[in-house]
Amino acid sequence: MQRARVDLWVGLFVALGLLALLFLALKAGNVDSMFKSEGYQIHAEFDNIGGLKAKAPVKSAGVVVGRVESVSFSNESLRAIVSARIDEEFKFPKDSSLSILTAGLLGDQFLGIDPGGDVDNLVDGDRVRITQSAIVLEKVIGQFLYGKMSDSGGN
């Protein structure tokens, strides 16, 4: 009887441990990062990507529709190249535009996709033409200060 109770407790313990691991994997982590993500890949060139990183979300109308796969630099166009994978279930017209936005004032940056009006949809490997770079806070402040100075200098 003692034997059976020890066995039962060890079984419970191991089951609870595995359950906790499963909980961490399913509930705390994003499981889809375990598998090769499905969907189609799109590329775009940006003048400035700010702080955009791989794995940042791609959002349309605030809903996550995909993830940024990689960020690299093109030696030919001297611009940043962003590759993103969009989930298969979401379709966007070919003339959709991409912009780099910030979540909140100091939040992480993500890729926003604004649908266009084309009849054809984006397919795997497509390049998005219309892009809008990240707003770099330093540049905006610099322009503002410069404007202020020229204002006061003119008067």
Partner 1 sequence: MIVKTLSSLGHAIIDSIWRLGVASSFIAKVLTRSSIVLRRPQLLVDEIHFAGVLSMVIIVVSGLFVGLVLGLQGYETLKRYGSTGAVGTLVALSLVRELGPVVSALLFASRAGSAITAEIGIMKTTEQLSAMEMMAVDPHARVISPMFWGGFISMPLLAAIFSAFGILGGYLITVVVIGVDGGAFWSQMQASVDFYHDILNGVIKSVVFGFAVSSIAVFEGYSAVPTAEGVSRAVTRTVVTSALAVLALDFVLTAFMFTGGV
Q: Which residues bind partner 1 (CB under 8 A)?
A: 3, 6-7, 9-10, 12-14, 16-21, 23-25, 27-31, 33-34, 53-55, 57, 64, 104, 106-107
Q: How far is the CB of 65 from partner 1 (least distance, A)?
A: 13
Q: Which is nearer to partner 1, 57 or 116 (CB)?
A: 57
The strand pairing partners of 111, in sequence order, are: 58, 100
Q: How far is the CB of 127 from partner 1 (least distance, A)?
A: 24
Q: How far is the CB of 116 from partner 1 (least distance, A)?
A: 27
| Backbone φ, ψ for residue 79 (5° rounding) | -130, 170
The strand pairing partners of 80, in sequence order, are: 46, 73
Q: Which is nearer to partner 1, 65 or 122 (CB)?
A: 65
Residues in the chain: 155
| Cβ neighbours for 64, distance < 8 A, ≥ 6 positions apart | 57, 58
Q: Which is nearer to partner 1, 23 or 146 (CB)?
A: 23
How far, in whole angstroms, is CA 96 from its chain's centroid? 17
